[in-house]
Amino acid sequence: MRRVHVSHLRPAMALGKPLYDRNGRVLLAAGVPLNARFIEALQARGYTSVYVRDGLADDVAPADLISEEVRMVASSHLEALFTIVTKVSEHGEPRKPSSWPGETWRVIESLYRDVEDILDEVFASEAFDGMAAVKSHDSYTYEHSVETTVVGVMLGKRLGLQREDLRQLGLGCLLHDIGKRGVPTEVLNKPGPLTSQELAQVKEHPRIGFELIKSLDLDSPVPQHIAWQHHEKQDGTGYPRGLHGTNRVVRSIADLGVPGRIMLLAELAAVADVFSALASDRPFRPALPPEEVARTLRALAGSHLNREVVDAFFRVVPTFPMGLRVVLNGAPFDGWRGVVVAVHPSQLHRPVVRLLQDSAGREVPHAEIDLRRYPDVSLSSERIDSEAGSAPPRTVWDPLRA
């Protein structure tokens, strides 16, 4: 199967992966032939791309971070909390627990259970196979927050954090964008560049998130500080407070006594947040190809993101995930096309590729190559709609809109 931009969908194409609503119900099942009505409905719901079956490697399903059930349940609980926030905020920003309706605490308890479920799935996995969740515009904030949580706790696990720290990190990642409820939707989803006034509105969301979570009086201050600090940068040019980092994971006693430092858990959340944002379709730009995601993360390490955390990220997240259609570069397979069918935990970036077509476009017999045995062969991802015309224009990634 392959990923196709919605503008290039045609009737009779078969859906490759099922699509779900926010309650976990199937909207369209895998294998359903698309028709004009279905395609219009996908566009109306804000989908940018979907997976379709094309007869080549349809048995290799693009990998997901976590089970669909856990992802959708957590997304629905987040949506419930955001709805409560919207209602409560109509009367001004809440200042204390009594400002919140009683249902708030049931939702918070549900979100903590969601974090435990995510932790269980993360601890059952040694590395990501990839991220293949397709999000619509109206569900982006919720599903992006869930994906940020999964990546954040996987990083925390890699760095040896205790489960209670991971639990608070998980809730902080789930809630890191809750302050966006104070930013108009038309600004968040604006296709073009933001005005200076709109940028100022967006830059308020970490402070708003901090105040909202603080007023809940949770059992730990960690989640509120993750929301407050996830847009700070190592070089001190982030917002809202211009905090600095050390580009290290281990803090010395001297570091702990220096004011204005970014806390480690917020740095983990920042890397996870940027990764998910880069790899997701947005109203103002399509998802970046995996190799561009990796290149951008490495470029941001040191100035924006904690360098040692980014290094840890690349030890748990493969550049080319399972199910990705790729083009091979270098002899003896230069110009050949294939699909990633396995990822080695010890060498995440040298996967096993099933060959599909040679450089002339001829279908090749069933054959798989292990790139660990071909050090001179590199990969690039196949454009999501290369067989149906040129992709929509890309725009420069804007960290303010992550």
Residues 153, 169: one domain?
yes
CA distance 188 to 190: 6
pTM of the model: 0.88
Question: Do the domain assignments include residue 22?
Answer: yes
pLDDT surpasses 70 at 384: no
C-alpha 247: how far from chain center:
22
**pLDDT by residue (tens digit) across 320-342?**
988 888 999 999 999 999 999 99
Q: What is the pLDDT of residue 283?
A: 67
Residues 199, 96: one domain?
yes
Question: Do the domain assignments include residue 391?
Answer: no
Residue ranges of the alpha helices (H) in 97-161? 103-123, 140-158
Residues 119, 256: one domain?
yes
The span from the first CA to the last CA of the chain, in angstroms, equals: 28
How many structural domains compose the chain?
Answer: 3
216: domain CATH number is 1.10.3210.10
Tell me the C-alpha to C-alpha distance, in Å, between residue 247 and each of 77, 82, 237, 276, 306: 34, 33, 14, 21, 4
Average pLDDT estimate for 260-289: 89
User: Given pLDDT bands bounded at 50, 70 and 90, which one contains residue 401?
Assistant: low
Question: Do the domain assignments include residue 395?
Answer: no
Average pLDDT estimate for 287-308: 95
Question: Do the domain assignments include residue 63?
Answer: no
User: Given pLDDT bands bounded at 50, 70 and 90, which one contains residue 130?
Assistant: low
C-beta of residue 174 within 8 angstroms of C-beta of residue 111: yes
- Map residue 385 onto helix, strand or coil: coil
Parent domain of 36: 2-53
pLDDT surpasses 60 at 394: no
Q: What is the pLDDT of residue 249?
A: 96
pLDDT surpasses 60 at 396: no
CA distance 221 to 76: 24
Q: What is the pLDDT of residue 390?
A: 41
CA distance 93 to 185: 18
Q: What is the pLDDT of residue 165?
A: 97
Average pLDDT over all residues of the chain:
88
C-beta of residue 395 within 8 angstroms of C-beta of residue 284: yes
